[in-house]
Amino acid sequence: MIGLLKKYLLSILVLLIIFILCFMNTSPLPAPPVKNFDKLVHVIMFLGLAGVVFFDNTRYLRFPISNRRIFWGSFLFPLLLGGLIEIMQAYLTRYRSGDWFDFLGDAVGIVLAAGIALLINRYFLLKKKKEIFVILNK
């Protein structure tokens, strides 16, 4: 358990920050000058979360990792978390509301991060194949 916490420490910290931001009362703050600015914030938060989960997944592993692991860690887990946060905001707070467009912003950030993760993984997969090819042809 301690090993798991150490492995995913950065992901856990980002997750805690997202929970704090999603559940704090923002009514005393002035309205942002840009319409739907909060949707952009959701994209950025969940792009960051999914990216950090990918980083934590690969930090202790040798590249490349399986696309299935990318799907579970950098896509499905943050997506379920985003949905859970919106449901919790709708039913557990009086000062926040669950919003499908916030969830859509979460999903956009997650898809961007998962796409970047797949590209990075592909780069390392091709690099590893090239190294194996060089070794075999010596």
Burial class (CB in 10 A: 0-12, 13-18, 19+), 51: buried
Is 121 inside any structural domain?
Answer: yes
More confident residue, 34 or 14: 14
Average pLDDT of the chain, as a whole number: 84
Is 32 inside any structural domain?
Answer: no
More confident residue, 124 or 79: 79
Whether the upstream peptide bond of residue 64 has omega within 30° of 0, thus cis, is yes
Residue from 40, 53, 36, 42 nearest 113 by CA: 53
- The pLDDT > 90 percentage for the chain reads 40
Is 91 inside any structural domain?
Answer: yes
State how many domains the chain has.
Answer: 1
Is 115 inside any structural domain?
Answer: yes
pLDDT band at 94, cuts 50/70/90? confident
Query: Is 60 exceeded by the pLDDT of residue 136?
Result: no
Is 65 inside any structural domain?
Answer: yes
pTM of structure: 0.82
Is 99 inside any structural domain?
Answer: yes
What confidence score (pLDDT) does residue 122 get?
A: 80
Domain, as residue range, for 46:
2-24+38-136
Is 125 inside any structural domain?
Answer: yes
Q: How many other C-beta atoms are found inside a 10 Å radius of the C-beta of residue 49?
A: 24
Range of 7-11, 23-27, 82-86, 125-129 with top mean pLDDT: 82-86
More confident residue, 50 or 26: 50
C-alpha–C-alpha distance, residues 30 and 27, integer Å: 8
Is 85 inside any structural domain?
Answer: yes
